[in-house]
Amino acid sequence: MSTTVLEQRLYSVADWYDAEALLTTEERAVLGRLRNFLDTEAKPLLAEYWERGDFPEQLVRPLIDLGIMEPFAAPARGIYQGFRIFELARTDASLATWYTAQAGLFRTAIRIGASEAQQKEWMPKVIDFSLKGVFSLTEPEHGSDIAGGLSTTARFETGVDGGAGPDGGSWVLDGAKRWIGGASTADVLCVFARDVADGQVKAFLVDRLAPGVSLEKINGKTSLRMMQNAHITLQNVRVPEAMRLHNVNSFKDVAAMLRAMRSDVAWIATGIQAGSFEAALSYAKERRQFGRSLGSFQLVQEKLARMLGNITASLSLVVRLTEQQGRGIYRDQDSALAKMQTSLFMRETVALAREVVGGNGITLASDVARFHADAEAVYSYEGTHDINALIIGRALTGDSAFTR
């Protein structure tokens, strides 16, 4: 491959088999503009905000104005959506996670859970970020076993007139949610709660400022420090029937959301690898030991080759999964496989990148340290390694090893 050809491509080295050839010229141009913004405006802030444990809110408006949600006629093509997440994650895992909280989790909740009329009202606002929402599923006592264990309750109360009231009556929510990403700046929390009447899981858009809702920032994180996660308590919180997602009638509907969202996380895990690999490669070319560049040593070249192999395999996985989903094929085991395997590759890639950078690889002055730390949260969220493996195992054997 000649240098000239490499320079023309958006992802030169990390996208070894040229998956970006699947993008249109227009899509590549938008990604190029996103890249410029991230390089000039975001990158200089990352180390400082990571250390402070703060999200650089000043990036939000310009990112929205760049049209990161839907720059073309909606819906954007899956492959372009994937590369958009890849580009963000290649810069920073918290930025990608912040973006997918709205563009992936919340939008998917509305797309799958809201009725046609509700979608008509909310979706344009979701897309232009004027209605910011978060996905509030995990609870303090229920993470991996949330499907059967979800214990936040929803109780329906009829209106004061004894009937359903003008808005169809209201619900009363009680319980707690944990780890909810982006909750402190959201307009609404999409809360999943169990209806005490029929025992089924339902979903509600809860005003973040509603009486009875309290948020506490989770401090002391060693991973994804820029992304804000909240512990949420719900006490006697009233939600009108109109704010219930009318197409969520059981956990099966939530599972359909998770199935669609997990592929986004696989794109994040792939983008993180690209970012850490590129940082390690450029360091290996510049840093000299024993009178030669690190990159000239055979053992370092082997590490670089393994990283590239991991990234190439990850990109092949997510591209193929995205193509399948574009054809309407959504299976639990498919997105679980992509999330599990790209996360395994990610863990190895970020560790190798950190190793190549030596002592400097544990300071925030090098990008590899941030990627290395942030990868741990991505490894665990939206289904841990074990849970995704068990989803695949269930599909392979027909025997569920983890559901009751």
Amino acid at residue number 10: L
Of 78, 82, 175, 181, the one binding ligand FAD (CB under 6 A) is: 181
All residues at 6 or more sequence positions from 84 whose CB lies less than 8 Å from its CB, including other chains:
31, 34, 68, 76, 99
Cα 277 to Cα 306: distance, rounded to the nearest angstrom: 10
CB 226 within 8 A of CB 92: yes
Q: 56 preceded by cis ω (within 30°)?
A: no
CB 88 within 8 A of CB 95: yes
Contact window for ligand FAD (CB under 6 A) among 121-129, 155-163, 361-369, 376-384: 376-384
Residue burial 240-279, b: 16+ Cβ < 10 Å; e: rest: bbebbbbbbeebebbebbbbbbbbbbbbbbbbbbbbbbbb
180 scored as a contact of ligand FAD (CB under 6 A) = yes
Of 233, 293, 324, 384, the one binding ligand FAD (CB under 6 A) is: 384
Q: How far is the CB of 181 from ligand FAD (least distance, A)?
A: 4
Nearest to 93 by CA among 18, 38, 139, 11: 38
The pair of structure tokens assigned to 15 is 């996208």
185 scored as a contact of ligand FAD (CB under 6 A) = no
C-beta of 194 vs 303, nearer to ligand FAD: 194
265 scored as a contact of ligand FAD (CB under 6 A) = no
Cα 123 to Cα 45: distance, rounded to the nearest angstrom: 31
C-beta of 14 vs 378, nearer to ligand FAD: 378
122 scored as a contact of ligand FAD (CB under 6 A) = no
C-beta of 309 vs 393, nearer to ligand FAD: 393
Binding mask 204-243 for ligand FAD (x = CB under 6 A): --------------------x----x--------------
Cα 108 to Cα 88: distance, rounded to the nearest angstrom: 19
Of 153, 247, 333, 380, the one binding ligand FAD (CB under 6 A) is: 380
Of 35, 64, 123, 144, the one binding ligand FAD (CB under 6 A) is: 144
Of 138, 152, 263, 342, the one binding ligand FAD (CB under 6 A) is: 138
User: What is the binding site for ligand FAD (CB under 6 A)?
Assistant: 134-138, 143-144, 179-181, 224, 229, 377, 380-382, 384, 386-387, 402
